[in-house]
Structure 1
Amino acid sequence: MRTPWLCLLAVFALPALAEDWPGEQWAQALQPPTPAVQALADYAFPPRDDSTRTGVRTDALVVIRDGRLVYERYAPPFTADSLHSTWSISKSLMACVLGVAYGQGRFQLDDPVATYYPAMARHPEVHLADLLHWASGLDWQEDYEYAPLYSSVVAMLYTRGRDDMAAFTAGLDSFAAPGQVFRYSSGDSNLLSAALQQMVGAHDYPDYPWQALFQPLGIEHAVWEADGKGVFVASSYAYLRARDLARVGLLMLRDGRWQNRQLLPRTWVAFNRRPFDHAVAEPGEATGGGQWWLNQPVGNAPRPWPDAPAQTFAALGHWGQALYVLPEQKLVIVRYGDDRDASYQHNQLLKLAIAAFAQGKAQ
């Protein structure tokens, strides 16, 4: 008969449960074409006429369940090897890069932005946490097609600000005190990118996203465009393969851990997933966290994706780019598209994906 302390040793010596992690390729457990899977495919990949540029147009759909590839489909000319524009998913990617820097002790959330980007000296009360919450208080207008003449983001990306996007943003006046009002801002995200340059140094900055994030995750092919000052356009211009973006989702699903390495501090991931105190949302719109979108109600507004669990969070981009993370279902979903109207609905795709791939669901 074993003594009690030997029994305790035996318990603590038990090996950890095996986990699936992608190597050069994902382990596969492809789902058969059940009615639920077919319903998802019918929604994501309807017959289309590209000449009209209307309706749901999915370029890529990848589903990972607990570290295994269970569904993958592309619409020509896109393939598994195609780099695709992520648009504003770039913001969440920069949040991951900053999370590595945070874990290295390079900054604190309550540091003034001007500490790392001197052009923000005219806004000394703006802190890094304010930028991460899209709450700098700078007078920003995030409009594209609908009001281009008044759009701050169009001016920053394509006209007056394209050579120095952070300086363009820092030159704006304030409309509110920092940290008090949520206003989605690509400018705030690009200020974070400029601050990162000072944090890690000009010499290391051009390679830092690769060394900090992409290479540890096994992402070998990625493009991240910079502005005229060599600052990564954190708001918009990262390009990844769908399978590689899924690696970022798995990192977030597992609370910043990649295999045996805590790549992002758990406290950082918790910050990304915590609703901003002063967030506002219109019906159907997600709640802002730390450069990620949350399926959380704000005020009297219901959850934006009512058919998905409340813990669902996402990185979202223009024209229907999406990286969804569903912790309870252990699902990561990457959807690339080119939707020029409002026909694509996040909630509908999530509802169909849960029906098709969540464990225990009728399929």
Structure 2
Amino acid sequence: MWLKFTAIALAALLLSLGSSMTHAQNAAEHETELTLQAYAAGYLAGFTCSATFNANKNPTAIQRDELTGSYELVQQRITELEAEVDYERKRVVVSYATEMPPRIAQWRPGLGCVHLPVGSTVDYNLADLPQLSDGAARKIPQQDDGQPWQERAELNQSSGSAALDRVIAQAFSDHYGAGARTSAVLIATPEKIIAEHYRPGFTPTTAQRTWSVAKSIGTSVIGVAIQQGILDPSAPAALKQWQSSFDPRLQISVEHLLHMASGLDSNVAGNRTDRLYMGGGRVLDTAASVALEAVPGQRWKYANNDTLLALRALAERFPNQQAYIDFPYTQLLDKLGMHHTFIETDWNGDFILSSHVWTTSRDLARLGVLHLQQGRWQGEQILPPDWLSYISRPAPAQPPLRNSAGDLTPGYGAQWWLYNRDFPGLPNDTIAARGNRGQYLFIIPSKQLVVVRRGYDLRGEPRFREERFVADVLAALEQSDL
């Protein structure tokens, strides 16, 4: 009798546990779906906010360019949501779940948009968000003055070289890749814009997201700090969160971070930082809390977190947060005339300089010219005199020679890609900033040339072959007297 009773009780217990486990599993799945919905709403709010208030784009253009061909995780979910643009408050609100507040992206003057964290409500104090100080306040001009170039080609007109014009026309077709959707091409020396072409609806003042080209902009900010004696790249990053004698992350130097060789765990794909990019997370929560998985300096792994932590190390060298927020604008961007560039922050005040920058082709070309001039601009040494050499020097640990498709891959310096692996038609001193959906800034010191290509390339389609395009540009220039 006792055994029978025990068996019945055990069966009831197992049934109860099974029911509880099923309920918990369903709850977990519901939470996962809610998180994905929150990411999709954040993606929609953030891109709509930045494209509206940084780039002055209309809803039709935003839908066409920013919200199609995007990240598969949220692409379908985006189509089921609606962005509410508040032009007076300069913010975007996207509702996604009845039990949660909407996702919010808020624009700040001169500083761009910021994602508020999941769960934030519309009842927030704008003054509590990171802002530029009055001393760093920017007036964004309606037109680009074309400086520092003494001579500029007419927009969307012939360069004077039939060979070069043909290459540029090919860039706006599918010649260099079936998934290519070129929005701009600019070719310049320090003295002259040789050619400048835009897709209809785009102008020299149309800002576009850089994606990972931001990393090279970020290391330029670090270069300014090195020139001013604020930071030593060989010194430990020494983040406050890592200050324990037991913490092996104290071995990580700023240079390790610049070389993508921190050794930190960044999951299988180090370029997936969804919680920060779409979820309203903070750099301190998403990047600084991970553990080591390799000895610093001995393994190359492309990781957004390494860029973010290098900038965080710089932030902690400043006496206060406001001084850090103003620094890239007053000490780099505005000195170069990069007035249509917006470096966005998280809500804690850390720059997301791994991706969240909106800028124009001319502003990128200005940064390229600064490097061609060995860091000197209008008589001022902004970057260290040997900075171009430093970022162009191959890091001790390098990317694989070929990618999964068998294509030759560039080498890596300090947050810049190095075309030093015998790419046909490209000098071995060619370096580039490269970003998702076809963003490229090429610097070729031996030719004193900058080449910018912007795009909205489609995911899953054959990519724009930037190395072939630039080689064709160089070949065309060799045939002309431009």
Query: What is the TM-score normalised by the length of structure 2?
Result: 0.63
Report the structure number with the largest CA radius of gyration: 2
The one of 355, 371, 377 aligned to 1:236: 355
- Residues 277 and 239 (structure 1), Cα distance of their counterparts in 2 relative to 1, 3 Å cut: same
In structure 1, what residue type is equivalent to 2:222? L
Contact 1:287 1:295 in 2 (8 A): yes
Instruction: Tell me which of the two structures has the higher relative contact order, counting C-alpha pairs closer than 8 angstroms and 6 or more residues apart.
Output: 1
Report % sequence identity.
31
Alignment of 1:87-102 (within 5 A): 87-102=211-226
How much has 1:153 moved relative to structure 2?
Answer: 2.2
- The Cα shift of 1:118 comes to 0.9
Residue 381 (structure 2) pairs with residue 255 (structure 1): no
User: Higher mean Cα deviation, 74-83 or 180-189?
Assistant: 74-83
Q: Does 1:118 align with 2:237?
A: no
28-37 vs 221-230, greater mean Cα deviation: 28-37
- The AA in structure 1 aligned to 2:171 is A
- Distance in 2 (CA, whole Å) between partners of 1:342 and 1:27 is 38
> For residue 72 of structure 1, what is the aligned residue in structure 2?
196
Does structure 2 conserve the Cα–Cα contact (< 8 Å) formed by 1:60 and 1:335? yes
Question: CA offset at residue 362 of structure 1?
Answer: 8.0
The answer to whether the 8 Å contact 1:36/1:352 transfers is no
1:90 touches 1:234 (CA, 8 Å); kept in 2?
A: yes
Question: How has the CA–CA distance of structure 1 residues 71 and 46 changed in structure 2, closer, same or farther, with 3 Å as cutoff?
Answer: same
Judge conservation of contact 2:237–2:313 (CA < 8 Å) in 1: yes
Aligned residues: 321
CA drift of 1:345 comes to 0.4
The aligned counterpart of 1:285 is 409
Amino acid paired to 1:94:
G
Give 1:218 deviation, angstroms: 1.6
What is the distance in 1 between the residues matched to 2:169 and 2:311? 39
Which of 463, 468, 473 is the equivalent residue of 1:348? 468
Structure 1 residue 211, shift from structure 2 partner: 0.9
2:231–2:314 contact (8 Å) kept in structure 1: no
TM-score by length of 1: 0.82
Q: Aligned AA for 2:161?
A: T
Preserved contact between residue 311 and residue 327 of structure 1 (Cα < 8 Å): yes
Matched, 1:136 2:262: yes
Query: Could you say what secondary structure the match of 1:328 adopts?
Result: helix
**CA positional deviation for 1:243:** 0.6
Which deviates more from structure 2 when the two are superposed, residues 97-106 or residues 252-261? 252-261
SS at match of 1:113: coil
Aligned Cα root-mean-square deviation (Å): 2.3
The reply on whether 1:273 has 2:395 as its aligned counterpart is no
Within 2, Cα distance between the matches of 1:292 and 1:119?
Answer: 28
The one-letter code of the counterpart of 1:317 is G
Counterpart for residue 162 of structure 2: 35
CA contact (8 A) 2:263 2:294 kept: yes
Structure 2, unaligned stretches of length 5 or more? 1-144, 403-407
Pick the aligned partner of 2:323 from 204, 207, 210: 204
Look up the match of 2:277. 157
Letter in 2 for 1:309: P
Q: Deviations over 1:188-217 (max 9, x none)?
A: 101122122122331211111111111111
Aligned to 1:15: none
Contact in 2 for aligned 1:141/1:153 (Cα 8 Å): no
2:341 aligned partner: 222
Q: Is the 8 A contact 2:269 2:303 kept in 1?
A: no
Gap runs ≥5 in structure 1 = 1-21, 145-150, 298-302
8 Å CA contact retained: 2:178, 2:464: no
Q: Does 1:56 align with 2:183?
A: no
Q: 8 Å contact 2:440–2:454 — kept in the other structure?
A: yes
Give deviations 1:229-249, integer Å, cap 9, x for gaps.
Answer: 111101001111111110000
Structure 1 SS opposite 2:447: coil
Q: How far does residue 331 in structure 1 lie from its aligned partner after superposition? A: 0.8
Contact kept? 2:146, 2:152, Cα under 8 Å = no
Q: Secondary structure at the match of 2:327?
A: helix
SS of 1:129's equivalent in the other structure is helix
User: What are the residue-to-residue correspondences of 1:322-333 with 2, within 5 Å?
Assistant: 322-333=440-451
CA displacement at 1:65 relative to structure 2 = 2.3
Asked if 2 retains the 8 angstrom alpha-carbon contact of 1:142 and 1:186, the reply is no
> Are the counterparts in 2 of residues 131 and 188 from structure 1 also a CA contact under 8 Å?
yes
**1:127 equivalent in alignment to 2:253:** yes
Q: What does residue 17 of structure 1 align with? A: none
